[in-house]
């Protein structure tokens, strides 16, 4: 049985990291948890640059750094795990770049997809879980003090709109999950969606 590639998407503070961790715990040894950017030695260094609130990056440099970190993660971690039949659980993937750099930064969604063709080698998630949360509710939650969160609600509104378009365009891959609930309630719906996807691959 081939592996399953599951990604979490959503605006900042929507609960992606929490839900990815809960899913990995529920799946046990079959799960391989990764995060973007990061997950490899080179990727973690790029993450530090991208998250640094004291650095000012051009949208183009930002997009290319995300793509470079993604290329490392796909090559060294994601593809080997999928080939071994594991369930890869990723806290963000290419859709984040399409939403943040393509839509919110104005680089264009098609341009971001073009940049990432080499990075991903055409790899796409089997299931993408969109954690939907109002931007005001998300802002009230605690989170990292990084470059993206410092930009405030305007950026998050643009990102949320982009995710809505992406999910609407590819409903077979995306599953919308309301994230304005207790973590365990969200997790139950996440787990149900993942188990359904696993059965479909069996």
- pLDDT tens per residue, range 111-139: 999 999 999 999 999 999 999 999 888 77
* 165-178 pLDDT, tens digit each: 999 999 999 999 99
Grade residue 152 by pLDDT with cuts at 50, 70 and 90.
low
Residue-by-residue DSSP string for 124-190: --SEEEEEE--HHHHHTS-----TTGGG-HHHHHHHHHHHHHHHHH-TTTEEEEE-SS-HHHHHHHH
- CA–CA gap between residue 65 and residue 49 (Å, rounded): 9
- Name the percent of the chain lying above pLDDT 90: 87
Burial label, 117 (beta-carbon count in 10 A; 0-12, 13-18, 19+): exposed
Q: 18-52: per-residue pLDDT in tens?
A: 999 999 999 999 999 999 999 999 999 999 999 99
The number of angstroms, rounded, from the C-alpha of 2 to the middle of its chain's C-alpha atoms is: 21
Q: What share of the chain has pLDDT > 70, as a percent? A: 95
Q: How far apart are CA 27 and CA 178, in angstroms?
A: 21
Residue-level pLDDT at 143: 65
CB 38 within 8 A of CB 69: yes
Q: Is beta strand 87-91 parallel, antiparallel or unpaired with respect to 31-35?
A: parallel
> What is this structure's pTM?
0.94
pLDDT at 135: 85
Tell me what pLDDT residue 63 has: 98
Residue 140 has pLDDT above 90, yes or no: no
The confidence score (pLDDT) of residue 1 equals: 63
């Amino acid at each position: 049985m081939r592996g399953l590639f599951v990604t979490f998407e959503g605006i900042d503070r929507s609960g992606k990291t929490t839900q990815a961790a809960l899913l990995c715990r529920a799946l046990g040894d079959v799960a391989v948890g990764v995060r973007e950017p990061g997950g490899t030695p080179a990727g973690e260094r790029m993450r530090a640059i991208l998250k640094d609130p004291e650095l000012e990056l051009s949208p183009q440099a930002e997009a290319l750094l995300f793509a470079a970190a993604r290329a490392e993660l796909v090559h060294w971690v994601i593809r080997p795990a999928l080939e071994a039949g594991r369930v890869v659980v990723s806290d963000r993937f290419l859709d984040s770049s399409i939403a943040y750099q393509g839509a919110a930064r104005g680089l264009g969604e098609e341009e971001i997809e073009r940049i990432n063709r080499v990075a991903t080698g055409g790899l796409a998630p089997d299931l993408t879980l969109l954690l939907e949360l109002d931007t005001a509710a998300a802002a009230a939650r605690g989170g990292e003090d990084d470059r993206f969160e410092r930009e405030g609600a305007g950026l998050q509104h643009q990102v949320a709109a982009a995710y809505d378009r992406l999910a609407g365009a590819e409903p077979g891959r995306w599953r919308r999950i309301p994230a304005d609930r207790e973590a365990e309630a969200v997790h139950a719906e996440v787990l149900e969606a993942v188990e359904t996807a696993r059965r479909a691959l069996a």
